[in-house]
Chains A and B, each alone.
Chain A
Amino acid sequence: MTSSRIRGTGDRSGPLRYPLLLVVVFLSAFPVYWTFMIPSRTNDAVGQLPPPFLPGGHFLSNAARVFDTVNFGKALMNSFIVAGTITLCTLLFCSLAGFAFAKMRFRGRNALLLIVIATMMVPIQLGIIPLYIQMQELGWGNRLISVVLPTAVTAFGVVFMRQNVLQAVPDELLEAGRMDGCGTLRLYWHVALPALRPGLAVLGLLTFMQAWNDFMWPLIVLNSENPTVQVALSTLASGHYRDNTLVLAGTALGTLPVLVIFALFGRQIIGGIMEGAVKG
């Protein structure tokens, strides 16, 4: 039994597997490396053939130029506010809805859950024109709230949290809480939420990164005076001449937060994606 498991599906195809994977990882990592290497050089060095392959010492001076050229400090702060708020709203709303769908019985539950799933297939980006008009009429044009609200809750998050509640919150625990006189909200807060911590962490990480990277809608509704990081980067990149070390310094700075998150929590993020795949 054990020996046949160890031979398993793969190990016999040995010799090619590791080289192939190393090539893939190299191809994956190289553009990211390039994003950080180019701005560590001067434009003169980058404009030569062959291009330099190793980092130099000019990253900080190029990074400083980013802050002089566009409103990058504000962009960073806006992106943190937007992505942070979207993440908190998503965690709260999705865990509440997931809790209701998983543990409460109510009229129309299954039909409503199906509607939630169906909305995942609707490309809401196609509603941007009325959305833009709506935000102008509400007086929210160029304000962060118009970026936050449309993505403050996702169908994926609701379905993901429902699965998590089903797995992580045993009925017995809720029953015991009920006996102690807890209402639904207190059950959610004191019984369900603590058990949901790992799932919330994964959903939070995925949501934050997605919100940080979102581009089309912020580009439309915000102007370059009040940008997110991605909008500021697009302003940099469409400048009148391409200052490569400047543009890539901004790109590197804008990528750094998600890279740090990925380095710290990569395992959980991968677990979340693969878990979501099996259920979806």
Chain B
Amino acid sequence: MTIATPAGAARDGHTDRSGPDTPPPRLPGPDRSDRTDRTDRTGPPALRRAARATVPYWLIAPFFVLFIAFGLFPMLYTAWISLTDRDMLRPGAEKFVGLRNYTDLLSDDFFWNAAGNTFLLMAMSSVPQLVLALVLAHTLNARLRGRTLFRMGVLLPNITSIVAVTIVFSQIFGRQFGLISWALDTVGLDPINWQAGEWTSKIAIAAMVIWRWTGYNALIYLAAMQAIPREHFEAAAMDGAGTWRQLWHITLPALRPTIAFTALVSIIGQIQLFTEPLLFDTSPGSVSGGNSRQFQTLALLLYEESFRLHNFGYGSAIAWLMFLVTVVFAAGAYVVTRKSSRLTRGSR
């Protein structure tokens, strides 16, 4: 048994490490020793100190340089281009047109069609996806045999590329030899030309999004569920609440910030929905999202205007409007999270 007090032990530790000549014990943290360490290098101390003070900025510089060059600058430049009439094929010939691209957009039927499709698809894929993910996470939140295998099975769709998902789902939803048409046929229903219909095409695309993202969101919810103290569930169980009532009364309120976060991420993703409507189209090389544009999204219209019709100005106006919509949704999610965190704090 030792009789050393904690304080004595600490003092011992310091003498061990620093020896008799070093200054009094330092606080942990390299930043502090940065300023006091004088054991290495040559040259005037002030210069050395100044050089060292810039080190952290050099370490974070790559992120900021790349973000400014390939993120921020293009975003702002998009706003400028959207005020010009600029043709991809005639660089340097742009001219300032003020808000004309925007006013043209607002009276463009294709734009409103694409906006409507984008928001419909957003609702049709986000809501089922997040509800299913919650149920799935609740089902996974138990002492399971083969836990890792189940989680891997659930995440599998998310690691495949959207291109691959769209290709294989287009096959499964194929009119003539698709699996679903065959299944409908065996129960005596007519096969469906999924691509052609206003609604059926959207259902098929929403199915692709739901398939790819439900498991991923379930794992996010599962992580949040496992952070809820077990005692809450035990108390509820003792009061006779079954598993689904526990989900409703304990899990859901605790998960509100996580749900807001996943909803926001999902919405931002949906605003930019591009690959599915591009590749679901059966006509070769088409970027119109179906023969009557029944599933053309904003991102696809942006692609069509900019890189097929070469209207960079018009395309930039679409991009900027999409950005504004994103900001509105992000602000909304922020308000919801703030409100809910205030609620939970109040109830404690």
Contact flag A10-B154 (CB < 8 Å), given A104-B55, A131-B70, A134-B74: no
Whether B336 sits at the interface, judged by CB under 8 Å, is no
Per the CB 8 Å criterion, the residue count for chain B at the interface is: 116
Contact flag A126-B223 (CB < 8 Å), given A21-B140, A212-B161, A230-B161: no
Whether B156 sits at the interface, judged by CB under 8 Å, is yes
Bound together, the chains give a CA A51 to CA B182 distance in angstroms of 8
Contact at A234–B66, with CB atoms within 8 Å? no
Identify which of residues 10-25 in chain A touch chain B, using a CB-to-CB cut-off of 8 Å.
Answer: 10-13, 17, 20-21, 24-25
User: Is chain B's interface secondary structure helix, strand, loop, or mixed overall?
Assistant: helix
Whether A76 sits at the interface, judged by CB under 8 Å, is no
In the complex, what residues of B have CB within 8 A of residue A188's CB? 59
Whether B5 sits at the interface, judged by CB under 8 Å, is no
Bound together, the chains give a CA A268 to CA B174 distance in angstroms of 36
In the complex, what residues of B have CB within 8 A of residue A11's CB? 142-143
Give the distance to chain B from A195, nearest Cβ to Cβ, in Å: 14
Listed residue (A100, A123, A185, A261) with the most chain B CB atoms within 10 angstroms of its CB: A123
Whether A153 sits at the interface, judged by CB under 8 Å, is yes
Contact flag A34-B319 (CB < 8 Å), given A97-B59, A130-B81, A178-B37: no
Bound together, the chains give a CA A62 to CA B258 distance in angstroms of 45
User: Is chain A's interface secondary structure helix, strand, loop, or mixed overall?
Assistant: helix
Whether B107 sits at the interface, judged by CB under 8 Å, is no
| Chain A residue at minimum C-beta to C-beta distance from B227 | A278
In the complex, what residues of A have CB within 8 A of residue B78's CB? 126-127, 129-130
Contact at B71–A150, with CB atoms within 8 Å? yes
In the complex, what residues of A have CB within 8 A of residue B282's CB? 242
Contact at A150–B70, with CB atoms within 8 Å? yes
- Contact mask B313-330 → A, CB, 8 Å, 1/0? 001100110110010001
Bound together, the chains give a CA A242 to CA B17 distance in angstroms of 73
Contact at B63–A262, with CB atoms within 8 Å? no
Residue of B18, B271, B286 touching A123 (CB-CB under 8 A): B271
Contact at B63–A34, with CB atoms within 8 Å? no
Contact at A255–B319, with CB atoms within 8 Å? no
Whether A269 sits at the interface, judged by CB under 8 Å, is yes
Bound together, the chains give a CA A133 to CA B285 distance in angstroms of 23
Whether A226 sits at the interface, judged by CB under 8 Å, is no
Whether A122 sits at the interface, judged by CB under 8 Å, is yes
- Contact mask B224-242 → A, CB, 8 Å, 1/0? 1001001001100100001
Give the distance to chain B from A247, nearest Cβ to Cβ, in Å: 6
Contact at A149–B66, with CB atoms within 8 Å? yes
In the complex, what residues of B have CB within 8 A of residue A212's CB? 161
Contact at A152–B66, with CB atoms within 8 Å? yes
- Contact mask A134-169 → B, CB, 8 Å, 1/0? 101000000000000110110100100000000000
Whether B272 sits at the interface, judged by CB under 8 Å, is yes
Contact at B139–A21, with CB atoms within 8 Å? yes
Bound together, the chains give a CA A50 to CA B330 distance in angstroms of 47
In the complex, what residues of A have CB within 8 A of residue B242's CB? 13
Bound together, the chains give a CA A152 to CA B66 distance in angstroms of 8
Of the candidate stretches A1-9, A63-71, A196-204, the one touching chain B is A1-9
